[in-house]
Each structure stands twice: as C-alpha cells, then as structure tokens.
C-alpha cells in the first residue's frame, strides 16, 4: 500500500486519455489529482484509506487496465502471478506496467504478460510517503527510453530515483528498503544514549532525527565520501574519536555490512520461492 503522498508529483496517474501523439499523459507541473487515481484491491479494508483521500476505487483489476495507461502492481510476490493471469487479456501495447513485487524478475513478468508488453520493475522504500524516498528501477526489453523517463519524472518528486541494472534491485532492497529500519534502530540507540545521560526522551528523539537528516543532507549535497565527512568531525583527543572508538569495539561497520548482505540474500531467495 502506498499513501497518496507518493503521488504528489508532476504527472497524471491512471488518466484514461492521452495527450498529443504520445501514448502517455504529458507531465505538467503540479500534483496528481486524487480523482485521477484508480486503486483496486480485493476488500474495502485496503481501499478505505484511498477513498478518504479522494481516489476512485474498485474491486475489479480489469477496470484499472481499461481506464489507465500507467499501471502499478503493488502486491505480495506470491499474489502477483495470479493477478497477472487475470489482467493479461486486457494488457495492450499502450500500457506501461510497473511492478513493485519484491523478487519477481523482469524475465518472469515478461513471460506472464503478452509479448512486447512494456514492463518496468521498481523498488521504492518507506520514506517515499514523505517525498524523501530512495527508488531504483529497471526496464524490460519492451520499454523504451521514453517509458523510463516517464517513470523517473513521475517519481523524482518522491525522492531519489535512478535507473539501474536489474541485478542491483535486490541489493537496493538490502541497502535502502531494509536499511530504513537499520537507521531507525541507530536513531533509537542515539536517543537512548542521551536519555541515559540525562536528556528527556522527546528532545533526544528530535535531536537524533535531525542529526541523521543533517548528516544525510551533507553527504548528498557535498558529494564527499562519508569517511571524509566523518574525519572532518573528529579532532585530536576530542569527544567524537572517543565515541567512534566505542563503535569500533562493537564492530558497528561489520554488523551493518552483514545486515545488508543478509537482507539482499533474502530478497534473492524470495524471488526463487
């Protein structure tokens, strides 16, 4: 489930008509009108939130294909083959199909859809709902440069969005999809350290969050390697190097690398299940 916040971007989604000679809507400035979004799910439990935001909803997946040219498939991996079998008769050359299902390869998507279908595989992460996400996508053999540009234009306003080789998508899952949870754990530990030293929990949590935000912004805006930025904070005999020594004793870097590796491997395993 993606919150409507994901769609505060300069394009139209699920538009039943095309603009000009291109098979997709053009990309105007502004936000996606909620009325341009048609969401489908088996039960109202997953659709109530979409309706509350002003989106149109249906229980019929084929209706989405009939009314839209750009279709996002946001299902669990084991559910997706059944959904593809259902919508296959309605998929045409004008559709651009974007799958968010973890582990489901482009090869499998193309095998389960009509030959020549324009397919892309996208992996977002949770902060997309606050327009600070990290997304990567790969395109199938039928998708063109224009198709890739359309998806990237749509999603750039939700955060960082880059086209990558498909082999990177499972790595992205371990790095960024799961990595958000690693960061939350680290933020919690930072705040709890401050609480231990006497700072109120609410204040400690806010400062920890702002610390992570500021550090990330410096990495993105300066382009410097994190080791260089870390060195800039350290002074001989100062507070930071003493703290870093304790993190090295706890093998923080090795633990995080192992976590990325384990999550990446699990993403690969999901695709083989």
The residue among 96, 101, 104 whose CA lies nearest residue 120 is 96
Binding residues for NADPH: 61
> Of 167, 146, 172, nearest to 25 (Cα)?
146
Q: Which contacts of 127-133 are long-range, i.e. CB under 8 A and separated by 24 or more positions?
A: 127/159, 127/180, 128/2, 128/5, 128/6, 128/155, 128/158, 128/159, 129/2, 129/3, 129/5, 129/6, 130/5, 131/5, 131/8, 131/157, 131/158, 131/159, 132/159, 133/158, 133/159, 133/160, 133/161
In three-state form (DSSP H/G/I as H, E/B as E, the rest C), the secondary structure along 197-225 is CCCCHHHHHHHHHHHHHHHHHHHHHHCCC
Residues flagged as binding site = 61, 74-77
Q: What is the DSSP letter of 260?
A: H
d(CA 230, CA 215): 10
- Pull the structure tokens for residue 15: 């538009």
Binding residues for NADP(+): 74-77
Rounded CA separation 208/189 (Å):
9
* E-strand stretches of the chain: 38-40, 56-58, 70-73, 96-99, 118-123, 133-139, 159-163
């Amino acid at each position: 489930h993606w919150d409507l916040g994901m769609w505060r971007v300069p394009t139209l989604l699920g538009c039943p008509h095309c603009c000009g000679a291109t098979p997709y809507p053009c990309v105007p400035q502004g936000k996606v009108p909620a009325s341009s979004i048609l969401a489908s799910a088996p039960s109202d439990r997953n659709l109530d939130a979409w309706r509350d935001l002003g989106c149109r909803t249906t229980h019929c997946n084929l209706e989405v294909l009939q009314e839209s040219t750009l279709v996002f498939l946001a299902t669990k991996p084991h559910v997706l083959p059944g959904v593809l079998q259902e919508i296959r008769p309605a998929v045409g050359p004008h559709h651009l199909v974007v799958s968010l299902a973890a582990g489901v390869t482009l090869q499998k998507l193309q095998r389960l859809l009509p030959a020549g279908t324009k397919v892309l595989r996208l992996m977002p992460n949770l902060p997309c709902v606050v327009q600070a996400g990290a997304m990567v996508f790969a395109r199938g053999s039928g998708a063109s440069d224009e198709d890739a540009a359309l998806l990237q234009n749509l999603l750039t306003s939700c955060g960082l969005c880059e086209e990558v080789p498909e082999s990177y998508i499972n790595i992205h899952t371990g790095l960024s999809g799961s990595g958000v949870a690693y960061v939350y754990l680290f933020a919690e530990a930072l705040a709890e350290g401050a609480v231990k030293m006497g700072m109120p929990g609410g204040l400690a949590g806010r400062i920890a969050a702002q610390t992570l935000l500021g550090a990330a912004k410096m990495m993105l805006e300066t382009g410097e390697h994190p080791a260089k930025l870390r060195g800039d904070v350290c002074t001989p005999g100062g507070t930071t190097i003493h703290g870093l020594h304790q993190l090295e004793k706890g093998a923080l870097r090795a633990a995080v690398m192992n976590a990325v590796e384990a999550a990446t491997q699990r993403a690969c395993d999901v695709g083989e299940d």
